[in-house]
Amino acid sequence: MKKNLLIALAAAAISTVAMTSANATEWYVQGTGGLSLGSITAHIDGGNDVTLWDEGFNGRIGAGAYLSNNVRVGLESGYAAFSEDDTDIDVWDILAVAYYDFKNETAFTPYIGLGAGFSQIKVDFDDGIDSGKETTNHFSTKLGAGVGYEISENLELLAEYSFQYNFKAEAFDDVDYSAHQNQFNVGLRYSF
């Protein structure tokens, strides 16, 4: 049931972005990558929560449309990987996003943004005694801020921070997972 609800919410978000993009004045594609400081928490029924913290690489690609001089909407997909002790964690996501650009007379354009969508977390552990693999699907949200530097008329260098939260999802009968990431990325955006 939860999985169907997550899929329906992600589809609704994607549809909204697609319909809104019909009024676009300009389009863009972008790619970023960098450091992700993340955690995953196992919420155990009747027991203590267990949290793993680690840093890892993350990469994001996106495409969207400018609805006005200051407002952008689009879709982004990302991947992050973490490894702590005997546990490997992979996070894939797709989010509908909206940004507000604070246009000014300089080559620097600060922006803020938010997003919502779907993520999938894969956990693989093997400590020599126990081992297992589990995949969970989550509703995800993102909040971020950054700055673009105009390299040319169509190309911007990006530096941004975002916080992404993946809400609880059931992994086993008595265990739920939730996760969050602090992402520090640099990249490029091309407008056309």
What architecture (CATH level 2) is domain 2-191? Beta Barrel (2.40)
Q: What is the pLDDT of residue 128?
A: 65
Q: What is the pLDDT of residue 181?
A: 92
Closest Cα partner for 88 from 46, 59, 131, 50?
131
pTM higher than 0.75, yes or no?
yes
User: For residue 81, which amino acid is it?
Assistant: A
pLDDT averaged per 10 residues in sequence order, the chain, 192 residues = 56 55 79 92 76 88 96 97 82 97 97 97 75 86 98 98 89 75 97 95
Q: What is the pLDDT of residue 22?
A: 56
Burial class (CB in 10 A: 0-12, 13-18, 19+), 127: exposed
Q: What is the pLDDT of residue 133?
A: 83
Q: What is the pLDDT of residue 45?
A: 75
The rounded distance, in Å, linking the Cα atoms of 119 and 117 is 7
Q: Say which residue the tokens 């200051």 belong to.
A: 70
Burial class (CB in 10 A: 0-12, 13-18, 19+), 76: buried
Q: What is the pLDDT of residue 179?
A: 86
Q: What is the pLDDT of residue 2?
A: 55
Q: What is the pLDDT of residue 86?
A: 78
* Residue extents of the structural domains in the chain: 2-191
The rounded distance, in Å, linking the Cα atoms of 35 and 99 is 21
